[in-house]
């Protein structure tokens, strides 16, 4: 005769139930504390922070102990949205002041949660400041594209009437005696026409770039001819030019005319940055390539001890049409940067106000096959 077995489940003791609940609480608390977004539990109408995770404290820039019990009046708008909304959750953006920065933009999703008979606000915040910055950059890029197209169109339309103005001024000058006061007026007008022509040419070249004519080239050979082309600019001031060129500099694959344009732009900028007296130092050397692994870069550095570039302007110097020069077009450095990109190279810059500026032109050295 088989004995009957008791199949009834064991009754959970009070102690084991308490241990289970304690583990569950620790489990949920761990998820709360380690959430990848900032979590706030907010008391409506007082805007008091009842609880938060570590990420929220880091976002505000204070310790968690400091954050809990403090007030964030910015949640007033979230509370009003929740009251008016028929949806259980609302999504909005807030600007928070933190120890790190003012007006930190965060995206907040919030809802009411009931606890102990009270309505509390659970708000999950995400830092979207970088996203906003990226959006601003994209908007700015679109504006620059439109501005470039508009400038190219205007420059093209200016060309023909400008040629007519230039021709008539030339005829006038030939028919006026050099001693007449009108002769100086015509000369001044011709100088203005020449400047406009240069701006038109640079603008059209920027908007319609040509493909580089790549050849085997030694960069050192371009430096003396570049200095000859900008000699008139350098001689306007007391500027000493020093050359330290590496005789063993390897050849690169580059367009000679485009690369010379790069050096003309940079040396001209260096000369302009020197007020009355100073030095320009040009060096060439090779360095290991970070971008092209196991390769080398041929480098030309152009340094001056001029006025320098402010930190605010340093991030803008390659933006088309940005310039601090009274007669500048703001296209020299953007064209220089684009030429370097077409050659697979880079252009770096370092500058200090009152100390000077150094530009580094870096072009990859072709690998031997």
Q: Does residue 307 sit in the same domain as residue 245?
A: yes
pLDDT surpassing 80 at residue 54: yes
Q: Does residue 229 sit in the same domain as residue 351?
A: yes
Distance CA 317, CA 346 (A): 15
pLDDT surpassing 60 at residue 1: no
- Domain assignment of residue 158, yes or no: yes
With bands split at pLDDT 50, 70 and 90, how would you rate the model's confidence at 99?
Answer: confident
- Domain assignment of residue 5, yes or no: no
Half-sphere exposure of 237 (CA within 13 A, CB side): 19
Provide the domain limits for residue 239: 215-364
- Domain assignment of residue 16, yes or no: no
pLDDT given at position 110: 85
How many domains does the chain contain in total?
Answer: 3
Pick the last residue of a domain from 71, 100, 127.
127
Query: Which helix (H) or strand (E) segment is 224 a member of?
Result: helix 222-229
Q: Lowest mean pLDDT of 189-193, 200-204, 283-287, 335-339, name the range.
A: 200-204
Distance CA 297, CA 281 (A): 19
Average pLDDT of the chain, as a whole number: 80
pLDDT given at position 369: 38
Pick the last residue of a domain from 65, 94, 127.
127
Q: Which CATH number goes with the domain that contains 39?
A: 3.30.450.20
Closest CA to 337 of 250, 251, 266, 253: 266
Q: Does residue 152 sit in the same domain as residue 240?
A: no
Q: Does residue 41 sit in the same domain as residue 95?
A: yes
Closest CA to 120 of 57, 181, 50: 50
pLDDT surpassing 70 at residue 146: no
Q: How far apart are the first and last CA of the chain?
A: 92
Tens-digit pLDDT profile for residues 184-232: 888 888 888 887 777 666 665 655 556 677 889 899 999 998 888 888 8
pLDDT surpassing 80 at residue 274: yes
């Amino acid at each position: 005769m088989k004995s009957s077995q008791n199949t009834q489940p064991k009754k959970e003791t009070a102690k084991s139930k308490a241990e289970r609940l304690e583990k569950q609480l620790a489990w949920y608390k761990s998820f709360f504390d380690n959430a990848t977004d900032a979590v706030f539990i907010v008391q409506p109408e007082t805007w008091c922070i009842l609880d938060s995770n570590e990420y929220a404290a880091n976002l505000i820039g204070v310790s968690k102990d400091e954050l809990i019990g403090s007030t964030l009046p910015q949640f007033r708008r979230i509370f009003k949205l929740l009251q008016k909304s028929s949806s259980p959750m609302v999504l909005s953006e807030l600007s928070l002041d933190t120890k790190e920065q003012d007006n930190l933009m965060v995206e907040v999703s919030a809802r009411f949660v009931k606890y102990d008979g009270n309505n509390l606000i659970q708000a999950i915040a995400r830092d979207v400041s970088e996203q906003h910055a990226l959006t601003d950059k994209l908007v700015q890029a679109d504006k620059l594209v439109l501005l470039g197209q508009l400038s190219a169109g205007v420059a093209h339309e200016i060309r023909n009437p400008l040629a007519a103005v230039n021709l008539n001024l030339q005829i006038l000058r030939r028919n006026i005696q050099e001693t007449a006061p009108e002769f100086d007026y015509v000369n001044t007008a011709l100088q203005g026409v020449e400047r406009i022509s240069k701006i038109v040419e640079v603008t059209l070249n920027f908007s319609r770039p040509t493909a580089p004519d790549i050849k085997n080239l030694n960069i050192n050979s371009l430096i003396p001819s570049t200095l000859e082309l900008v000699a008139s600019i350098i001689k306007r001031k007391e500027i000493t030019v020093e050359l330290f060129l590496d005789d063993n500099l390897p050849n690169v694959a580059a367009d000679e005319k485009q690369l010379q344009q790069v050096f003309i732009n940079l040396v001209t900028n260096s000369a302009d940055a020197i007020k009355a007296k100073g030095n320009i130092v040009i060096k060439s050397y090779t360095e290991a390539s970070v971008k092209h692994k196991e390769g080398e870069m041929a480098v030309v550095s152009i340094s001056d001890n001029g006025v320098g570039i402010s930190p605010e302007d340093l991030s803008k110097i390659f933006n088309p049409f940005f310039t601090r020069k009274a007669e500048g077009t703001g296209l020299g450095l953007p064209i220089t940067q684009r030429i370097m990109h077409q050659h697979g190279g880079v252009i770096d810059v370092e500058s200090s106000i009152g100390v000077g500026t150094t530009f580094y032109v870096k072009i990859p050295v072709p690998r031997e096959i």
